[in-house]
Each structure stands twice: as structure tokens, then as C-alpha cells.
Amino acid sequence: MIVAVIGDGYCSVQTSRLAEEVGRLLAENGAAVVCGGLGGVMEAACRGAKGAGGLTIGILPGRRRQDANAYVDIPIVTGMGEARNIVVVSSGQSVIAVSGGFGTLSEIAHALKLGIPVVGLGSWQLSKEGWDKANGITPATDPSDAVQKALALAVDLE
């Protein structure tokens, strides 16, 4: 199983701790972590996964493998800039959004459009007047809850 972990490239210590715990718990449950491969939430999630013996994949915006954080096992260079966001979420069978800014919001939108479940941990909430669906983001209360929900909601990639 592969779970995408998304969030800001720069984040608070508290958010970093949440993301690291998410990565650790994913690895302990046998899931690989895919992310944008840079700093902040991405680095923290990879650090947690690596510390638990997990596999980490970084989908990089640039053309240099060296730009990947130190905890990425498999750096994938794209030269796509922010357009690589769709590749990040498309690579996961579910997505965990940890906090996040507008880049994270774009990844959430791509995932939802593609039918990939999104679990939010202190992240975005969506609403639209006249929209009769739930907001599409499953809220989580803590890293354990986020991981449990992401694993339970994961879809088969075809």
C-alpha cells in the first residue's frame, strides 16, 4: 500500500511532530509514504517512516535528485514544478493532508477529483453552496486516527 502525505514545505515544530508520527505509523502498518520529497511536512513524514523501517518516495518538482530530503529512499525528478502535485496524489491509494497551504489545497482538489480518499489532520475543510456531498475530506483527530482512516479508505490503483 502507498499513502501520500501532503503539507507545507515549511511548518511549525508541532506540525512537524504530527507529520513524523503519521509517517512512523504508516510504516509500522506496512504502507510506503509518497510525498513531494522536500522539507517541512514532507521531510517529517519521511523521517518518521524511515525511523520505523518504511519505504519513502519523493516526487520532486525540479531536476535534481539532491534536492530530496535526507529521508527519501526513491527520489523521482520531474522538472514539473508545482504541476508535480497531481503525480504525488495520484501515486497514493489514499492521502493524508497534514495542515497545509495552497499547494496542499491543490493536491487535495486533484485527489478528490480522481476519487482518491483524503484524510485531513488540521487541514482544509471544503464547502460549496448547493453542494449536497460531504466536504470530501475525512477529518482526523490525531496521527493514529489519520492513519487508521487512510488505510481503511485506500482505493485500489488500476
pLDDT of residue 128: 73
pLDDT band (50, 70, 90) for residue 130? low
pTM: 0.94
pLDDT of residue 64: 96
Cell numbers linked to 52: 520505523
Residues contacting 141, CB < 8 A, separation 6+: none
The string of pLDDT tens digits covering residues 6-24 is 999 999 999 999 999 999 9
Please compute, for residue 91, the number of CA atoms within 13 A of its CA located in the half-sphere on the CB side. 20
The string of pLDDT tens digits covering residues 65-110 is 999 999 999 999 999 999 999 999 999 999 999 999 999 999 999 9
Domains of the chain in start order, with CATH, are 2-127+134-153 (3.40.50.450)
> Cα 28–31–37 angle (5° rounding)?
105
